[in-house]
Amino acid sequence: MAGLELDNVTKIYRMRGKEPVLAVDRLDMAVGDGEIVGLLGSSGCGKTSTLRMIAGFEDATAGTIRLGERAIDRLPPARRNIAMAFEGYALYPPLRVRENIGFALLRGRHPRGEVERRVGQVAEMLEITDILDRYPPTISSGQQQRTSLARALIRDADLHLLDEPMSQLEPQLRAILRARIKDWLTGRRMTTVFVTHDQTEAVALADRIAVMEQGVLQQFGTPAELRDRPANLFVAGFIGEPPMNLYPAEIVADGGGPAIAVQSAAGAAAFRVPLPPADAAPALHERLTPGQQVHFGIRPHKVRLGTGDLSGTVLSNRWLGDQSHIGIDIGGCLLTAVTPDPVPGGADGTIAVDLPAAAINLFDAEDGRALFHGLQEAGP
Amino acid sequence: MQHHRQSAIARAIRGVLLTLVGLFFLFPIFWVVLMSFQTNADILRTPPSLFFTPTLDNYVALITGQLDTAVGSLKISYMRNLWNSLVLSSASVALSLLLGIPAAYAFARYRFRLGENIAFTLLSFRFAPPLLVLLPLLLYFQDLGLYDTYIGLVWVYQLITLPLILWIVRGYFEDISPDIEHAYRVDGHGWLATFLKIAVPLARPGIAAAALLAFIFAWNNFVFALILGSSDVQPVTVGALAFITASGIQYGQIAAGLVLSMLPTLVLALLAQRYLVEGLSLGAVKG
Ligand SMILES: Nc1ncnc2c1ncn2[C@@H]1O[C@H](COP(=O)(O)OP(=O)(O)OP(=O)(O)O)[C@@H](O)[C@H]1O
Ligand SMILES: [Mg+2]
């Protein structure tokens, strides 16, 4: 077990007669010893390419990769001491599930009894004990995926790479296995990088999450950081369910004091959120000048209803069993609110809305970078 | 019920058609086998008859190398030719496997400059009329001392066997997910071990098919040995010319020679069948 350090890692695929593909763009990332990191991003954003460079199947076009004390980017895969579960499972078809899982340990001269015991243990954890004597082509894809995961988890490698390890499983099983895998990884202090499309999975499994888009690392932080302090518009819109309410806005300083003038999708003035006076929040007024274009964002969970100065029309009101999702129209802006309790009143009613200052996010209109979270200056 | 009866009828029709096709294709072979047990006189009788006194004379003549014809006795080296066929075909296929499998793997897994062109050039040897290159080759072979040697013939036979093996096996390698090999590599193995222990065993059905096909093509070759060798190294295909004698064509011996020359390919096909059918099942990655 060891820490992983990616420094300026870049991957450009060049194929004859085609445009080069920039799959990973100057990726810097440090994974601590024993840390579990989730790579989250939409399809084609370079997650698998990143794992393949770490494992050594693909040369990095630029940059260095270190694992513990060793620079590994020039080593062949065999000498990197990394275990990997593949997106396409890649099981050995002629070997039984049992042999597939224990393969590396047996070749590593572990005593047969110990291998048997460990195979049994990981198979039980992943609920595949009943298929241990079957051959890969005769089991379902979900079972193949767990076999491939078991083959990676059984190893004592310096680093474990898991490429979409649970994409084929049904939600119930996924929820159960998530917790067990987390225990397995933390109990053994396994340094892990896993890839997923699923935010819930990323949040449940990872200590920190790296959000990628189009080959670029957007933000690398704990689930709470991603939720409360998204580094840019992309992360703000990508993380969270339902997604953050985001609107174009302009800083104004007229009669009523400094304020954020939020615009509807049509570009009309929708509503205003007052800013604290300059002496109370000097940083805010230093960075924000009247006339400046920004994006205004607030998470649905932070919207408070039934109180506040704003008023909107309820468009929809659904109770989901454990929370309410309410769609509200405020001056042409569609706002989603989530409350833990049912909200009385149906569609077309009027409702008072409060957007607490501590929950407001402001982003630069041009490059999308975060300016303020809860009216506190966003970090670098 | 209706559906069931229809499918029974369909099955019956299919059976009849298959039998007809089988008869159509097997009839010449059946006829040749019959001929090989007949004297020339029986064979040339009109109308031909299924009833005759079987004789082993044709086989005896082939095996002893004594051909007795109406105008006298003459020596033939049919068994020698048969042996030559075996040596040439096996050695050619073996050499092609040795060269072709790694090459096929390289073409399947790596994209390199001119790779596609090289592969296609090799394939194009299959389209070129061999006589075009044989005459110049004859002069070179005589200079190099390769004329009338096994080595020389095995070398030109690569024109037949190598492209076949390369292209068929390449397709099989391309069908194996590279990640299976990657999985083996992260488990601590080098590329050579991965090639030998994973790629080759998984492509084994393809390799068996390609080897069998290449063997048959090599076995049936005629012109290479006709021009580049003497009867010392010539295979049965050329050796059979000896049955066209001054006193006529020895149909009985030709038939017997054909039957003997079919046997090795037949045995090989039966043996290879096991591997062909075996597919991706047991035992490929053990150890
Ligand atoms: N071998 C390759 N040759 C050329 N381009 C490639 C290759 N592998 C990946 N790419 C391209 O690089 C980009 C990143 O691909 P990658 O497989 O890393 O995405 P991903 O994030 O894993 O996507 P997914 O979630 O769909 O698995 C994509 O645009 C893809 O088309
Ligand atoms: Mg992927």
CATH code: domain of residue A339 = 2.40.50.140
B54 and B84 in a single domain? The answer is: no
Question: A300 and A337 in contact (C-beta within 8 Å)?
Answer: yes
B213 and B225 in a single domain? The answer is: yes
pLDDT confidence of residue A165:
95
Q: Give the minimum alpha-carbon distance from B286 to chain A in angstroms, rounded to a whole number.
A: 7
A301 in any annotated domain: yes
B56 and B166 in a single domain? The answer is: no
Interface residue B117 vs chain A (CB under 8 A): no
Interface residue B186 vs chain A (CB under 8 A): yes
Final residue of a structural domain among A230, A256, A289: A230
B12 and B112 in a single domain? The answer is: no
Write the DSSP string, A255-271.
Answer: TTEEEEEEE-TTS-EEE
Q: Assign residue B182 the CATH number of its domain.
A: 1.10.3720.10
B84 in any annotated domain: yes
Q: Tell me the residue range of the domain where A285 lies.
A: 245-377
Per the structure, the count of domains in chain A is 2
Give the residue numbers in A contacting B (CB under 8 Å), as ranges.
Answer: 15-16, 55-57, 76-84, 86-95, 103-104, 107-108, 135, 137, 151
| Mean local confidence (pLDDT), B278-286 | 43
A285 and A226 in a single domain? The answer is: no
B54 and B187 in a single domain? The answer is: no
B91 and B147 in a single domain? The answer is: yes
Per the structure, the count of domains in chain B is 2
Q: What is the pTM of this model?
A: 0.85
**Which of ligand 1's atoms lies nearest the C-alpha of A11?**
12
Q: Does B3 have pLDDT greater than 60?
A: no
pLDDT digits (tens, 9 = 90+) for A189-236: 999 999 999 999 999 999 999 999 999 999 999 999 999 999 999 999
pLDDT digits (tens, 9 = 90+) for B219-262: 999 888 888 988 888 898 888 888 887 778 888 888 999 999 99
pLDDT confidence of residue B61:
87
Of the residues A9, A11, A13, which should be mutated to test ligand 1's pocket, given the most ligand atoms within 8 Å of the CB? Answer: A13
Final residue of a structural domain among A180, A207, A230: A230
Considering only CB atoms, which chain B residues are within 8 Å of A94?
201-202, 280-286
A199 and A289 in a single domain? The answer is: no
A175 and A276 in a single domain? The answer is: no
Final residue of a structural domain among A174, A200, A230: A230
B12 and B109 in a single domain? The answer is: no
List Cβ neighbours of A120 (8 Å cut-off, separation of 6 or more): A129
A184 and A255 in a single domain? The answer is: no
List Cβ neighbours of A288 (8 Å cut-off, separation of 6 or more): A251, A258, A275, A294, A362, A371
A237 in any annotated domain: no
A15 in any annotated domain: yes
pLDDT digits (tens, 9 = 90+) for B36-61: 998 888 888 888 777 888 888 889 88
B148 in any annotated domain: yes
A239 in any annotated domain: no
Query: What is the predicted ipTM?
Result: 0.85
Q: Does A150 have pLDDT greater than 60?
A: yes
B286 in any annotated domain: no
B191 and B263 in a single domain? The answer is: yes
Comparing B279 with A191, the larger pLDDT belongs to A191
Q: Does A134 have pLDDT greater than 80?
A: yes
A238 in any annotated domain: no
Residue of A83, A88, A135 with shortest CB distance to B177: A88
A235 in any annotated domain: no
B174 in any annotated domain: yes
pLDDT confidence of residue B126:
75
A172 and A257 in a single domain? The answer is: no
Confidence bin at B4 (pLDDT 50/70/90): low
Q: Tell me the residue range of the domain where B13 lies.
A: 2-75
B287 in any annotated domain: no
Q: Determine the distance separating the centroid of ligand 1 and the alpha carbon of A49, expressed in angstroms.
A: 6
Final residue of a structural domain among B57, B75, B93: B75
B209 and B270 in a single domain? The answer is: yes
Q: Assign residue A205 the CATH number of its domain.
A: 3.40.50.300
Contacts with A, B 160-179, CB within 8 Å: 177-179
3-state helix/strand/coil string of chain B: CHHHHHHHHHHHHHHHHHHHHHHHHHHHHHHHHHHHCCCHHHHHCCCCCCCCCCCCHHHHHHHHCEEEECCEEEECCHHHHHHHHHHHHHHHHHHHHHHHHHHHHHHHHCCCCCHHHHHHHHHHCCCCCCHHHHHHHHHHHHHHCCCCCHHHHHHHHHHHHHHHHHHHHHHHHHHCCHHHHHHHHHCCCCHHHHHHHHHHHHCHHHHHHHHHHHHHHHHHCCHHHHHHCCCCCCCHHHHHHHHEECCEECHHHHHHHHHHHHHHHHHHHHHHHHHHHHCCCCCCCCC
pLDDT confidence of residue B277:
63
Q: Does A280 have pLDDT greater than 80?
A: no
Output phi, psi for A311, to 5 deg: -140, 140
| Mean local confidence (pLDDT), A68-74 | 92
